[in-house]
Amino acid sequence: MKARALITSIAVLFLATGALSTPAHSETGNGLLQACEALEREIRISGRDVQLPERADVHICWGYMGAVQDFSVMVDDGKTLFRSCPGPKTTLTQLIRVFTNYARTHPQELHEKASRVVYRAMLSAFPCP
């Protein structure tokens, strides 16, 4: 039993070290676009149920854009952090579509950080009044 616990501890340490060694800022607009396009092709939605394929890249898109959704409604000094104003019923799949549509029509930006491309997509699609 001690051997199994040791192996488990080593595996967890290995995975954590690998996750920490990947810079959070390394995702480009192009990388995120590819992941989100794969998600759009393979996602299954039935009513309120969403089924993601078992591929790491689509989970990267889902998680990244989920964080965007969370931050898009945060307010500081009366202004949203993204300076965009998506409606309260804007879904995660709609945000993903906004990003992919923007990215496809602005290929000259895809070498930039994904965060910059997503930010511009949000500003374009959801201007504040």
The SS3 of residue 110 is: coil
- Check residue 125 and give its pLDDT: 96
Is 9 domain-assigned? no
Over residues 38-84, the pLDDT tens digits come to 999 988 888 878 888 888 888 999 999 999 999 988 888 878 878 89
Q: What is the largest CA-CA distance in the chain?
A: 62
**Partners of 28 in beta bridges:** 113
pTM: 0.76
The answer to whether residue 20 scores a pLDDT higher than 60 is no
Q: How many domains does the chain have?
A: 1
Is 1 domain-assigned? no
DSSP state, residue 107: G
The answer to whether residue 24 scores a pLDDT higher than 60 is no
The answer to whether residue 92 scores a pLDDT higher than 70 is yes
Q: Which CATH number goes with the domain that contains 56?
A: 1.10.890
Residues 98 and 125 sit within 8 Å (Cβ to Cβ):
yes
Is 114 domain-assigned? yes
- Check residue 11 and give its pLDDT: 37
Is 2 domain-assigned? no
Domain that holds residue 113: 26-125
> pLDDT over 70 for what percent of the chain?
80
Residues 29 and 107 sit within 8 Å (Cβ to Cβ):
no
